[in-house]
Amino acid sequence: MPDLSLLLRRLKQTSLLMVGVPDYDTYVAHRRANHPGQPVMSYPEFFRERQNSRYGGGDGKISRCC
């Protein structure tokens, strides 16, 4: 039987990816592994940056298909 906590974690990750928000833990792991010594955004900063990237950050431009 699969680990329930792993299943729930994957379900959360999939749900967030469906609405355009990458997994924060994956982001942190990537930054620490590939960019040591550089700052890591907090979750609120990460979320805001991803939302601005997807829907535009107040400049009137929307970077999505519809």
pLDDT in tens, the chain (66 residues): 568 988 998 898 888 888 777 888 889 999 999 999 999 999 999 988 888 877 776 665 655 555
Which pLDDT belongs to residue 63? 54
Tell me if 66 is assigned to some domain.
Answer: no
Domain count, the chain: 1
Residue 48 host element (H or E): helix 43-55
Tell me if 63 is assigned to some domain.
Answer: no
Tell me if 61 is assigned to some domain.
Answer: no
Neighbours of 52 (CB within 10 A): 13
Q: What are phi and psi of 27, to 5 degrees?
A: -60, -50
Kindly give the residue spans of alpha helices, DSSP state H, lying in 1-66. Answer: 4-18, 24-34, 43-55
Tell me if 65 is assigned to some domain.
Answer: no
Which pLDDT belongs to residue 16? 81
Q: Degrees (nearest 5) of the Cα angle 65, 12, 5?
A: 160
Rounded-to-integer distance, Cα 44 and Cα 61, Å: 22
Tell me if 41 is assigned to some domain.
Answer: yes
